[in-house]
Amino acid sequence: MIDNNIESILASLRNMLPADILLVGMGNSLKADDGIGPEICSQLKETIPDNVIDTGTVPENYIQVIIKKAPKAILFIDAIDFGAPPGTINIFDSCQLSAVGITTHTLSPRLLSNMITQSIPAKIYFIGIQPKSMTIGHPMSQEVKSAKKELVVLFKHMFSLNNTV
């Protein structure tokens, strides 16, 4: 289930050229729902290869790659525990995540954002999918699989609209 806030932010991004938007997946595919970011990137890689980066569990290793692409907007996609029902999709900025969400990454979202925006003036958002389980060796939950399907369709639609502008 997509929060209305996401749709309004994505609607504002639809006016950008595809090259201006970068999707960055984060997470560990071995830890059930934590693999949502890499899974979404995998499904979008053939459709929009220049707009997708899978950073796995170390987004800090990709900061220079992101800066070099110089997007106007960056959407990090990750499993984030924000206390909602599993599979709920919401969007946050880095300040909100410091107070609300829990991610499995060493580098805080705020620090990651600051390191990027010191070099490029990008709008940075974190699309969080509420996990059900992040247990090593377990499969992704049905709720998060449904959220993944929704987001893949939404991003494909968003980028196909941008390509026709």
With beta carbons less than 8 A apart as the criterion, state whether 24 and 125 touch: no
Please give the pLDDT value at position 5.
Answer: 64
- Going from the C-alpha of 64 to that of each of 74, 78, 138, the distances in angstroms are 14, 20, 33
With beta carbons less than 8 A apart as the criterion, state whether 128 and 76 touch: no
Tell me the pLDDT tens digit for each residue of 117-141: 999 999 999 999 999 999 999 999 9
Please give the pLDDT value at position 2.
Answer: 56
- Name 43's Cβ contacts closer than 8 Å, sequence gap at least 6: 148, 152
Please give the pLDDT value at position 110.
Answer: 82
Please give the pLDDT value at position 154.
Answer: 87
- Give the chain's largest Cα–Cα span: 43
DSSP 15: T
For 23, the domain range is 4-163
Q: Which DSSP string do the residues of 110-132 spell out, in sequence order?
A: HHHHHHHHTTS--EEEEEEE--S
Scored b (16 or more CB within 10 A) or e, 135-146 reads eeeeebbebbee
E-assigned strands of 18-61? 21-26, 52-56
> What is the overall mean pLDDT for the chain?
86
Name 132's bridge partners.
none
pTM score over 0.85: yes
Mean pLDDT by 10 residues, the chain (165 residues): 63 72 94 96 93 94 96 94 92 68 62 92 92 95 96 87 53
Match 């805080």 to its residue by tokens: 108
Please give the pLDDT value at position 4.
Answer: 55
The amino acid at 44: L
If one counts the domains in the chain, the total is: 1
Looking up residue 95, the CATH number of its domain turns out to be 3.40.50.1450
CA-only gyration radius of the chain, Å = 14
Please give the pLDDT value at position 98.
Answer: 59
